[in-house]
Chain A
């Protein structure tokens, strides 16, 4: 890095090298792209979630929502799963 580069970096108040910013932005945008490019992705995730939770809880399968959301430079999987009640059988399965 030449002296000029160092000086321009100091005076332009850049924190991270721009390639790190590029890489981070790409990582975030591609998670979204890949998920939305295949609508089956979220659907099959939803179906598998239902399969697992069904053993433990009585849930409203129709109202279940699964989405990927952007939150401050990170991606979160947000699932909204209305619970109708606990399953006695499920409790036994967990404790045994």
Chain B
């Protein structure tokens, strides 16, 4: 399989880029793929804590690109899966410590050893964004069903196109089916209509994400997490498998059935 460099971006902060990177990386590794996740948020690194690997960091991305260590020395092996690695961001430098050219060289070097190279992009559209997209073949934009997030996603899609990344796909994160049903949250078709890009997947709002982040164990490892299940399905789509879209509806309970019967009776 040809290796792929995918950047996970959003423009707006706090919509779930890092959570998405951690879960997709872990899900792909569960499928037996060789995966490296790169945290490019220099100065504000977080992918290490979401993955529960913060105690294993010796070198970081800045050490690797500046030749203070070999690239392989900076890679942290995951504690759960053999094929899963993390390249952490530096915490004491700023975004200018790495150049787009260096990023491109580094991701190209990593292609030799990995099936998937997932680049976790920082918020914003400045140097950190430019670094993160420099070596990418494809981009995944994460957006939540809010005006501010969708607006920023639109801007990011424009910037990605200008940089030659035209096959961008969208993940709608933190959707709440109850709010959608009562008309207080934009639904999937509203957002797709506005942004006019292909949908890669939908992830429901799920308290299990907070719990899994507390523990440093990605939600895809939990069988009961609905968000985890959604991420596992998205990971399968990334490998080229056709997977039906996640249904927003909660499993039908007795009350729903009862309501339906009442409607039918009228």
- Chain A contact residues, CB within 8 Å of chain B: 1, 5, 17-20, 22-23, 25-27, 29-30, 33-34, 37-38
Contacts and interface: CB of A to CB of B under 8 A. Distances in A.
A33 B155 contact: yes
A22 B183 contact: no
A29 B194 CA distance: 11
B151 A26 contact: yes
Contacts of A26: 147, 150-151, 194
Given A19-B187, A26-B147, 14 more contacts: A5-B182, A17-B184, A20-B183, A22-B147, A22-B186, A23-B194, A25-B147, A26-B194, A27-B194, A30-B154, A30-B194, A33-B155, A34-B158, A37-B155
Contacts of A25: 147
A23 B180 CA distance: 13
Contacts of A18: 183-184
B190 interface: yes
Given A27-B194, A30-B194, A34-B154, A17 B183 contact: yes
A30 B183 CA distance: 22
Q: Say what secondary structure dominates the interface of chain A.
A: helix
Interface of B: 146-147, 150-151, 154-155, 158, 180-187, 190, 194
Nearest to B152: A33
Contacts of B185: 19
Q: Which 10 pairs show the lowest CB-CB distances between chains A and B?
A: A17-B183, A19-B186, A18-B184, A22-B147, A23-B190, A19-B183, A30-B154, A1-B182, A5-B182, A22-B186
Contacts of B150: 26
B104 to A, nearest CB: 25
B190 A19 contact: yes
Contacts, number: 42
Task: Among B146, B180, B186, find the residue whose CB has the most chain A CB atoms closer than 10 A.
Answer: B186
Contacts of B147: 22, 25-26, 29
B38 to A, nearest CB: 27
A33 B190 contact: no
B186 A33 contact: no
A26 B147 CA distance: 6
A27 to B, nearest CB: 7
Given A22-B147, A26-B194, A27-B194, A33 B154 contact: yes
Nearest to B158: A37
Nearest to A30: B154
16 contacts: A1-B181, A17-B182, A17-B183, A19-B183, A19-B186, A19-B190, A22-B146, A22-B147, A23-B190, A26-B151, A27-B194, A33-B154, A34-B154, A37-B155, A37-B158, A38-B158
Nearest to B184: A18
A23 B151 contact: no
A17 B190 CA distance: 13
